[in-house]
Structure 1
Amino acid sequence: MRLVAEGLSAKRGEDLIFQDISFEIASGEALVIKGPNGSGKSTLLRVLAGLLPAEAGTAKLLAAAHPVERVGEAAHYLGHRNAMKRELTVEENLTFWKAFLGDFAGGAGLPVFEAVEAVGLGGIAHLPFGYLSAGQQRRMAMAKLLVVWRPVWILDEPTAALDVAAEAMFAGLVTAHLARGGIALAATHQPLGLKDVKELRMKGFEHAYPGEWA
């Protein structure tokens, strides 16, 4: 399986945010996207997730058994917001997402309570999501990555609000996902504790061509 982006460009309003971004990552690989604020990191991830249209270019997931024209169909997107209802319990939120999304072909997600245990918060799934601290909420949002199988994880500042122990836990989750043949893309200013990652640096359109491999 390979995720291939070719010549991606995107606008915000009438402004061109980035232009001619191309990269390729395969099963078991992670791509970390870095750059200053406003350089287009979040916009690139939203384009890949299918939440924003590309101005130009394509992104495809090439798999022998299940080729996918729209990467978002095979992806989890974890953005700045946690995508959980504050009034519902953690269990209700995760149960909803498990039923609503369904597993992508070729894999199966964890049961809800196993996913909650995996993020280190077993025993509080009965609490309303809004009762949790910011760090706990972020960890429960990560549990959503586990209850439904998606081969591609698209992560925007995933370790925001996490302490050092939770950061290490998250690195373990991503490492396990990659070992399972998954792909991860993350925009971040912080080290994620992952080994042998590829890196894409966004410079911002005002500096001409924004993407380059490191």
Structure 2
Amino acid sequence: MEYDGNAPGVRELAELTINKVSVGQGDNNCYLLRCRSTNEQLLIDAAAEPQTLLELCGHRLTAVVTTHRHWDHWQRALAEVVAATGARTYAGEPDVEGIDVATDVALTDGDIVRFGAVELRVIRLTGHTPGSVALLYDDPAGHPHLFTGDSLFPGGVGNTFGDAEAFDSLLSDVEGKVFDALPDDTWVYPGHGRDTTLGAERPMLPQWRVRGW
């Protein structure tokens, strides 16, 4: 399937395959990452439709990373997917208590999640939830790929529910840890909807700060 960043599809990189599927009434994006040298697989956000996800991964998973504690990203599929595959579970440390499925590894900023020959770097983005994390794959044969959960979308940062302090924290983290650290050709994979790039979003950063959401 051709990958255009809008509909679900597959992107083939030199060392990694990325499969995007939308599940549930909230159109949650789930991302299945497969190491091409070992075939080990990692799932980002087991949100809903467990049978869809299990068929996608062939009932084989090394790990599941939950990007944040909001129920729509784990409640309808995580327990069943983990029970069927024995996958190791990961989530941001401050969000662990809000996820009813046991977390094997509590993630902090700068941690590395490994599966097969692939490494993902954890970027803590505080604001949408206290423990939201993004995962960075720095493709050695191309540009970076960033899985942002609900912390960064086309057109703005994630919802901070009218909390000005949380908004300032999230936007400051996104500016400092993402836009200041990564190039414009970084591909952004959000928790809902279409993909984007940092280059497409960078000119709007001042507008986001002024509008406050």
Whether TM-score is above 0.5 comes out as no
What TM-score do the two structures reach when normalised by structure 1? 0.34
Which has the greater radius of gyration?
1
Q: Which has the higher contact order (CA 8 A, sep 6+)?
A: 1
> Normalising by structure 2, what TM-score?
0.34
